[in-house]
Amino acid sequence: MPAAERFGLIHSVDRWIVKRALTQLARLHMQGESVRFSINLSGLSVGRQDMYELIEREVREAGVEPSRITFEITETAVIANLGLAIDFIGRMKQMGCMFALDDFGSGLSSFAYLKKLPVDFIKIDGEFVRDIATDPMDRAIVSAINDIGHEIGLTTVAEYVESPEIVRLLKICGVDKVQGNYISEPLDKLPSSNVIKLRQQGRQVIS
């Protein structure tokens, strides 16, 4: 991805991913699968009129409910283009899509601008999550991010969840959802329907 950004190809990658993801989502819905997709966007695509038009067109042509699509943008990308990001996210949410702020906590002024962003989820940076079983400071940071997220009505998601002990501590902190190798290792293709449902249940709620 850094190479694609450096050589000006990242926007083409984003466009390909959006088209491919929506095609797959439409296919699953035709098969009766009620699933949701999260799609990462690069910071360089945020605020581009052609990207907004592409997403709007592809969602309409795929015939999927926009509320089943969550776009993820990293916190650092938002900081670099705050005004454009706010406008872009607002327009996409008017369409019905949802938004997640990825890698939250990695920026220098996270809490200062969080209330300005019309996002639905904040994904707690995995660098704070992975060591919460051994590092009290990381645990305190995760708890603080979670509490502030809930205070302003956001759903919290913990990244880099790699053990049942981390899940246990996140439950104590009150984090809503988890993702990481403990739930599912990265996949190179969509799994069977039953596996999708099992993994979705594990990822959606800590119980």
Tens digit of each residue's pLDDT, the chain (207 residues): 777 777 778 889 999 999 999 999 999 988 888 888 999 998 888 878 889 899 999 999 999 999 999 999 888 788 777 888 889 889 999 999 999 988 888 765 567 778 788 899 999 999 999 999 999 999 999 999 999 999 999 999 999 999 999 999 999 999 999 999 888 777 666 555 444 443 444 444 454
| Location of structure tokens 């009290």 | 136
Rg (CA), the chain: 17
> Tell me, what amino acid is at 199?
R
Quick one: how far is CA 120 from the chain centroid?
9
Q: What is the pLDDT of residue 190?
A: 56
Give the global pTM.
Answer: 0.79
Q: What is the pLDDT of residue 43?
A: 82
- Compute CA distances 12 → 19, 41, 93, 197, whole Å: 11, 11, 23, 31
Burial class of residue 137, CB neighbours in 10 A (0-12, 13-18, 19+): exposed
Which run of H or E residues covers position 156?
A: strand 155-158
Q: How far apart are CA 180 and CA 163, in angstroms?
A: 9
For residue 153, which phi and psi values (nearest 5 degrees)? Answer: 85, 25
Helix residue ranges, H only, the chain = 2-6, 10-30, 49-62, 75-80, 82-95, 110-114, 126-129, 136-151, 164-173, 193-204
Q: What is the pLDDT of residue 207?
A: 42
Residue 63's closest CA among 25, 95, 37? 25
Q: What is the pLDDT of residue 35?
A: 87
Q: What is the pLDDT of residue 204?
A: 44
Burial class of residue 40, CB neighbours in 10 A (0-12, 13-18, 19+): middle
